[in-house]
C-alpha cells in the first residue's frame, strides 16, 4: 500500500481499543505518524507489563516515513518510543514538556544518539512535504495536550489527540472557542477525534473545580492523608500542593514517576510555586494530622507506592484513622487490583474517599456536550472517531451525524481509509497486531513464547526423562517431574503410574528412533495426566539413547 494522489488514514493502534495510539496519514507516496504509544499487560499476557503496537507495516515503508508527531506525553501516546522509534529512523516532533518526558526515556535506554527529537515551540508550523502541521493547545490531564492541524494537498485535518474543555485548567492556556471556530472557518476536511468519554452525558468538569473537593476531604481527616492520582496529571499535582498548603500539612511525594513528572514540569516553567517536600523518614516524624503524601498506584499497580504502603512494604506507614483519597478514575480492567489494595487499607482501618463520594477527580476526556461543541466549532466534512473501543467510536459517529456532520466512518486498527478524494471509503486492510516487552526482548503477543506460557498457566507441565538401550528397550527407570498439575495430594502415586506408562510406551515402540520414542512417551504420559486431572498438560520428553 503506497498512497497515490490521495489522502489516506491508517491506525496501527488505538482504534478498537483504548491505549497504544498509533495513527498514520498517507499522501503522495509519503507517510506521517501521529503518536507512538503502548498499553499495559493484563492476565491474558502472563509475565508481561508492556504491550506495543506491531509496526511492521510502516517499518517496511520507513523510507517513505517523514516523521513522528507526538500530541502529548501520556504513555499511551509516547510509551513505545524507546522500543520502536530507533528502528523507524525518523525524527520526532514534540512540544517542550512532552519532549522532556521523551528525553528521559531515551536517556534511560541509552538512545539519545539514535533518536532525534525536535522541540516545537510557540505553535510554529512545521513542513514535511507534502504535509505541514501545527499544534493547537487543548486542555487535558497533562501539560501541553495538543490537537494538530495537518495541512495536505487534499484537505485539512483536525486531529484532536486527547482533550476536554476546561474553563479553569490550572496549567496551560487552551485554545478558545473563537480560535477553534476560526480553524473551522478555514475549512476542515476531517475531524479525527477522541472517543473515550462519548457515553458521558455531562461535561467532564474543570480541573479547578477539584480543588474545593480535595480541600474538604483533606480538612476532614484526623490522621495522615495519602492522595493517589495519575503521575502525569501535573495540574492535579499542582492542586494537591495548594491543598497541602491550605490545610497546613507537610508534603511528601512517593513514586519515581511523580518525581520525574515534577522535575520535567519545573524545568518547563510549571509548578514553580510547588511547596517544599520532605522524604519518607521526614513525613513519618511529622504529627499525623499535619502529614500529606502524594503517591502513585491508584490503578492498583503492584510495584507502585500505594500497593507497597498498603502491603507494609514501604517506609511510609498508614494506620487506623488515616485517609486515602483516590483522585483518579478507575480504569476498566483494574477493578480487581484496586479492590485488593482497598481491602488491605480497609483491614488497617484506613478511611477511603473516591470520586463516587466526593468531588476529588474530573476526567481528561470530552463528554457528549464537549464533543457537540467541538463539532459546531470545527464543522468538518468527515468525522473519523479514534481512541476508543468499537462501541465508543460507533457511538461518536452516530452523535456526529445527529449533530449535523455530513459524513462519518467507523474504522479499526488496520483499516485503510481514503479521506480524499471522494471519501471517506475503506480501501482495504493491512496486518496489525501487538508486540510484548518480555524482559529486554520484544516478542509477538500471540507467538510461541506467550502461548506456551498461557498453556503452562492453564494446564501445568510434566517433564519425562527416559533412557533407551541399543535394542530400543527401556534402560533403568524413567524420571517424571511435575509442575502446576493438581496431583499434590497423590503426587507419588501419579508419578509411579506415569513412570509405568513411559516404560510401557518405550517397550511397545521398541525403536531406536528417538523422535518416535519421544512422541510415544509424550502421549502415554499425557493420557495418564488427563485421566487423573481432566487436563492436558504440556509434556516434555528427553530421550537418552545408550
**Predicted pLDDT of residue 145:** 97
Three-state secondary-structure class, residue 389:
coil
Greatest alpha-carbon span in the chain:
90
Task: Identify the pLDDT of residue 499.
Answer: 96
pLDDT per residue, tens digit, the chain (546 aa), is 789 999 999 999 999 999 999 999 999 999 999 999 999 888 889 999 899 999 999 999 999 999 999 999 999 999 999 999 999 999 999 999 999 999 999 999 999 999 999 999 989 999 999 999 999 999 999 999 999 999 999 999 999 999 999 999 999 999 999 999 999 999 999 999 999 999 999 999 999 899 999 999 999 999 999 999 998 999 999 999 999 999 999 999 999 999 999 999 999 999 999 999 999 999 999 999 999 999 999 999 888 999 999 999 999 999 999 999 999 988 777 888 999 999 999 999 999 999 888 899 999 999 999 999 999 999 999 999 999 999 999 999 999 999 999 999 999 999 999 999 999 999 999 999 999 999 999 999 989 999 999 999 999 999 999 999 988 999 999 999 999 999 988 999 999 999 999 999 999 998 989 999 999 999 999 999 999 999 999 999 999 988
- Cell numbers 480535595 correspond to what residue? 214
Which three-class secondary structure state does DSSP give residue 347? helix
Q: Locate the DSSP E strands across 17-125.
A: 22-27, 30-34, 39-40, 50-53, 65-69, 92-94, 117-119
Quick check: helix, strand or coil at residue 427? strand
pLDDT at 100: 96
Q: Kind of pairing, strands 92-94 and 117-119?
A: parallel
Identify the burial level of 404 via C-beta atoms within 10 angstroms of its C-beta, where 0-12 means exposed, 13-18 middle and 19 or more buried.
exposed
Q: Which three cell numbers stand for residue 437?
A: 516487552
User: What pLDDT, on a 0 to 100 scale, did the predictor assign at position 489?
Assistant: 87
Crossing angle, helix 514-533 and helix 491-509, to 10 degrees?
A: 150
> Contact 138/125 with Cβ under 8 angstroms?
no
* pTM (global) more than 0.85: yes
* CA–CA distance, 96 with 119 (Å, rounded to integer): 6
pLDDT for the residue numbered 347: 97
Q: How far is it, in rounded angstroms, from Cα 290 to Cα 395?
A: 47
d(CA 226, CA 252): 9
For residues 188 and 167, is the Cβ–Cβ distance under 8 A?
no
Query: For residue 357, what pLDDT is reported?
Result: 86
Q: What is the pLDDT of residue 42?
A: 82
Q: Which residues are within 8 A (CB) of 63 and not within 5 positions of it... i.e. 6 or more apart?
A: none
The pLDDT, as a whole number, for residue 302 is 85
Kindly give, in sequence order, each residue whose CB lies less than 8 Å from that of residue 398, ignoring residues fewer than 6 positions away: 408
Amino acid at each position: 500500500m503506497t498512497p497515490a494522489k490521495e489522502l489516506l488514514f491508517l491506525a496501527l493502534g488505538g482504534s478498537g481499543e483504548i491505549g497504544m495510539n498509533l495513527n498514520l496519514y498517507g499522501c503522495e507516496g509519503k507517510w506521517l505518524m501521529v503518536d507512538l504509544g503502548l498499553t499495559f499487560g493484563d492476565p491474558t499476557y502472563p509475565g508481561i507489563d508492556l504491550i506495543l503496537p506491531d509496526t511492521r507495516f510502516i517499518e517496511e515503508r520507513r523510507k517513505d516515513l517523514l516523521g513522528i508527531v507526538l500530541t502529548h506525553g501520556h504513555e499511551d501516546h509516547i510509551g513505545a518510543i524507546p522500543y520502536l522509534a530507533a528502528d523507524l529512523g525518523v525524527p520526532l516532533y514534540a512540544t517542550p514538556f512532552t519532549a522532556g518526558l521523551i528525553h528521559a526515556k531515551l536517556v534511560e535506554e541509552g538512545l539519545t544518539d539514535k533518536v532525534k527529537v525536535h522541540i516545537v515551540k510557540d505553535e510554529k508550523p512545521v513542513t514535511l512535504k507534502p504535509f505541514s502541521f501545527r499544534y493547537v493547545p487543548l486542555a487535558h490531564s497533562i501539560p501541553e495536550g495538543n490537537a494538530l492541524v495537518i495541512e495536505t494537498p487534499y484537505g485539512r485535518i483536525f486531529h484532536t489527540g486527547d482533550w476536554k474543555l476546561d474553563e479553569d485548567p490550572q496549567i496551560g492556556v487552551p485554545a478558545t472557542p473563537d480560535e477553534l471556530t476560526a480553524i473551522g472557518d478555514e475549512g476542515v476536511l476531517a475531524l479525527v477525534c477522541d472517543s473515550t468519554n462519548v457515553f458521558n452525558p455531562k461535561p467532564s468538569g474543570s480541573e479547578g473545580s477539584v480543588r474545593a473537593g480535595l480541600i474538604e476531604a483533606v480538612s476532614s481527616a484526623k490522621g495522615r492523608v495519602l492522595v493517589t492520582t495519575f503521575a502525569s496529571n501535573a495540574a492535579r499535582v499542582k492542586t494537591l500542593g495548594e491543598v497541602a498548603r491550605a490545610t497546613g500539612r507537610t508534603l511528601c511525594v512517593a513514586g519515581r514517576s511523580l518525581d520525574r513528572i515534577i522535575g520535567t514540569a519545573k524545568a518547563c516553567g510549571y509548578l514553580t510555586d510547588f511547596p517544599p517536600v520532605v522524604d519518607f523518614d521526614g513525613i513519618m516524624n511529622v504529627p499525623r494530622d499535619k502529614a500529606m503524601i502524594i503517591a502513585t498506584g491508584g490503578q492498583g499497580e503492584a510495584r507502585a507506592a500505594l500497593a507497597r504502603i498498603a502491603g507494609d512494604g514501604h517506609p511510609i506507614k498508614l494506620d487506623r484513622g488515616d485517609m486515602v483519597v483516590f483522585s483518579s478514575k478507575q480504569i476498566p480492567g483494574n477493578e480487581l487490583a484496586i479492590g485488593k489494595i482497598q481491602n488491605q487499607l480497609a483491614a488497617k482501618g484506613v478511611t477511603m474517599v473516591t470520586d463516587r463520594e466526593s468531588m476529588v477527580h474530573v476526567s481528561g476526556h470530552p463528554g457528549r456536550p464537549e464533543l457537540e461543541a467541538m463539532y459546531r466549532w470545527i464543522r468538518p466534512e468527515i468525522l473519523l472517531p479514534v481512541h476508543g473501543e468499537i462501541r465508543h467510536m460507533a457511538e461518536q459517529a452516530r452523535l456526529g451525524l445527529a449533530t449535523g456532520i455530513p459524513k462519518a466512518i467507523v474504522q479499526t486498527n488496520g483499516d485503510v481509509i481514503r479521506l480524499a478524494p471522494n471519501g471517506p471509503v475503506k480501501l482495504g486492510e493491512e496486518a496489525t497486531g501487538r508486540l510484548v516487552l518480555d524482559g529486554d526482548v520484544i516478542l509477538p503477543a500471540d507467538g510461541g513464547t506467550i502461548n506456551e506460557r498461557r498453556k503452562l498457566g492453564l494446564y501445568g507441565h510434566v517433564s519425562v526423562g527416559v533412557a533407551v538401550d541399543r535394542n530400543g528397550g527401556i534402560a533403568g527407570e524413567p524420571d517424571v517431574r511435575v509442575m502446576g498439575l493438581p496431583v499434590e495430594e497423590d503426587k507419588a502415586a501419579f508419578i509411579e503410574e506415569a513412570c509405568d506408562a513411559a516404560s510401557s510406551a518405550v517397550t511397545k515402540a521398541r525403536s531406536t528412533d528417538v523422535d518416535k520414542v519421544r512422541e510415544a512417551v509424550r502421549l502415554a504420559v499425557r493420557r495418564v495426566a488427563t485421566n487423573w486431572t481432566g487436563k492436558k498438560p504440556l509434556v516434555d520428553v528427553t530421550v537418552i539413547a545408550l
